[in-house]
Amino acid sequence: MEWGTTIFYVFGAITLLSALFILFTRNILYAAFSLILTFVGVAGIFVLSGAEFIGVTQLLVYVGGILVLIVFGVMLTNRVKGQKVVSPVYQKFVGSIVGIGLFMLLMKGILEANFGAMQWMKTNEQQTSLKRFGMTLMTDYVVVFEVIGILLLVALIGAVYMAGKRKGVNDAS
């Protein structure tokens, strides 16, 4: 087995194992830190699949931004001193049954479809370049790009407005 494939499987294993840890732990803080590992694993898979820009964006946005937000959320919503931040689990049985059933369904679909045997899979595979990606983003998709920027701005202003304390509003009524 060549090196690239081995590294690929290592990143896949990191992703899957840390996601399973999120599933089985009850401590929300441990789940949040395990989510970092999941994101790093997914970013590695992106980079090795030829999507370097998406991998870097994943690291910047998820690990640098969303994770910090989630940890702050844990800190601000569970202010009980000297106690572990645990989340109760309920309907474990039904949830796992539905989840495993969904997984079986997806597995069956993937294996039945047999994507590897399709003709365009074999012929078209080649390395994509970052320049190509930038050109596509700024020409064909430039309107969507701008719209998504405005959406992000509006969402951030709205979030700050909602979470901030305002005078004359009684919160704990």
> Which residues 74-113 are close enough to bind another protein by CB under 8 A?
74, 76-78, 87-92, 95-96, 98-100, 102-103, 106-107, 110-111
CB 11 within 8 A of CB 45: yes
**Closer by beta carbon to another protein, 83 or else 173:** 173
- State which of positions 136-165 bind another protein (CB under 8 A): 136-137, 140-141, 144, 148, 151-152, 155-156, 158-160, 162-163
Q: Which of 44, 120, 146, 168 binds another protein (CB under 8 A)?
A: 120
Verify binding: residue 40, another protein, rule CB under 8 A: no
Write the CA distances from 96 to 15, 24, 57, 103, 132, integer angstroms. 20, 12, 32, 10, 43
Calculated CA dihedral for residues 136, 57, 13, 90, nearest 10 degrees: -110
Reduced 3-state DSSP string for 41-83: HHHHHHHHCCCHHHHHHHHHHHHHHHHHHHHHHHHHHCCCCCC
Among 36, 37, 54, 63, binds another protein (CB under 8 A): 54
Q: Contact with another protein (CB under 8 A): which of 36, 37, 50, 63?
A: 50
Q: Which CB atom, from 82 or from 150, has the smaller least distance to another protein?
A: 150
Which lies closer to another protein via its Cβ, residue 83 or residue 124?
124
Contacts of 143 (CB under 8 A, 6+ apart): none
Q: Pick out residues in 9-38 that bind another protein (CB under 8 A).
A: 9, 12, 15-16, 19-20, 22-23, 28, 31-32, 35, 38
Q: Of 36, 33, 58, 34, nearest to 46 (Cα)?
A: 58
